[in-house]
Amino acid sequence: MTERKWERVPGFDFKDIIYEKRPGVARVIINRPEAYNAFTTSTQDELIKAFEDAASDATVGVVVFTGAGDKAFCTGGDAKEAKAGYRKGMLEKDLMVKTLLREMPKPVIAAVNGYAIGGGQVYQQICDLSIASENAIFGQAGPLVGSFDPGLGIIDLMMVVGEKRAREIWYLCRRYTAQEALEMGLVNRVVPADRLEEEVARWCDEILEKSPGAIAGIKACFNAATTYMRGIEAVSAQYLWKYYASEEAEHWKNTFWQKKKPDWQRFRRREMFPEVYEGDQKGDS
């Protein structure tokens, strides 16, 4: 196996992530363990810069994406930032991160250590490969917290685990063990926590023994099957942005910080989109 010594990449003043390289491999670590590696817009900015550098570095053949500590890979967007109000830049930056993970011409391996919830689950899901520790926990949280993923996080999940299971994951927001994730095809391998880094290194070394041009072409072929998602993402992002500006989203935010149970029943008729349901409302009058 190649040398395991990691070195910080010079020229980057990152605060939320750690960006390092060893021969042939770049590693990006969300370094917010105190927040279960939830990301903010600042974190996303740093992820974009690191992934852009790794994608363009001809000496890098594979990228590892993980979270600091053993509690969490990533738990999605930081709720404290959302408390201040959703900003459109959040969606744009999130899409850029996912696009880089998906389209850089080299494999990205998610090393899942602990919780991969919400946006964190989406990030690991759209990586090329995922290796999880036995203590990893997977699941969605969108409908629990008044949100959802516009595009890849839903459509790609359906392609990975099947439509019925994907709907279950999104509608019910249950938690799944690493073994359950393996059985449904959400990850490639599960290993003891103390062997996670070793196993990821082994997979990296195997990839580095292959033709980089062939690997890039194979990844492009896989991605060609999902190019139609671009239009879906654009439409879904508009819907999500409108949702964030709705009374329903504001209701969730207020009840969350007041530690109260939200009253979703009052929104069953989708009052935030009256023009869409106007015909239905007239029929009830």
Q: Which two tokens stand for residue 122?
A: 């989406």
Is 42's pLDDT higher than 60?
yes
Q: Which of 68, 104, 111 is nearest to 203 (CA)?
A: 111
Report DSSP state, residue 265: G
CA separation (Å) from 212 to 62, 98, 232?
9, 21, 31
pLDDT score for 244: 77
Cβ neighbours for 245, distance < 8 A, ≥ 6 positions apart: 86
pLDDT at 136: 99
In tens, the pLDDT along 112-141 reads: 999 999 999 999 999 999 999 999 999 999
pTM for this model (two decimals): 0.87
Share of the chain above pLDDT 70, in %: 89
Beta carbons within 10 angstroms of residue 263's beta carbon: 9
In whole angstroms, how large is the CA radius of gyration of the chain? 20
196-226 pLDDT per residue, tens: 999 999 999 999 999 999 999 999 999 988 7
Does residue 156 surpass a pLDDT of 70? yes
Domains and CATH numbers, the chain: 7-228 (3.90.226.10), 246-284 (no CATH)
Q: Classify burial at 247, counting beta carbons within 10 Å of its beta carbon; exposed 0-12, middle 13-18, buried 19 or more.
A: exposed
Q: What's the rounded Cα separation, in Å, for the pair 127 and 131?
A: 10
